[in-house]
Amino acid sequence: MKLVFLTHPVNDLKTALAFYRNQFGMQEVWREGDHTAALKLDGTDVALMLEEDEKDLPAGGVFLVDSVDEFYKENKDELKFIKEPFDIPPGRYAAFQDDSGNVLRLIDMTKER
């Protein structure tokens, strides 16, 4: 498991991109349509993902795993999943909560293999 993004739900992607670029000098590294984009600071490995899709979920970490489906199968009885695995452009996605209610998101890149 590797932390790859910190995700921040935003109301308006265009406005949020301008803020993070202008205030912090972040550079856009990829975009998915008009609703999701990732930014990085020079010298960092973890990107900031801004997205309009999950405004109902709080900010949190996105962790890369080999297989979201395998992680889900091995942990579904112990963890509180709030989003079961589903397809996203690079692979699969799921989300669960820790004991304090923090959301942890999982992705894999199975479609890019």
**Quick one: pLDDT band at residue 111, thresholds 50, 70, 90?**
confident
CATH architecture label of 2-112: Roll (3.10)
- Name the residue with tokens 């699969």: 92
Write the pLDDT tens digit of every residue in 7-33.
999 999 999 999 999 999 999 999 998
**Quick one: pLDDT band at residue 55, thresholds 50, 70, 90?**
confident
Checking if the pLDDT of 113 tops 70, the result is no
Domain extents for the chain?
2-112
Write the pLDDT tens digit of every residue in 57-107.
999 999 999 999 999 999 999 999 999 999 998 899 999 999 999 999 999
∠ CA 101-55-107, rounded to 5°:
70
Checking if the pLDDT of 112 tops 80, the result is no
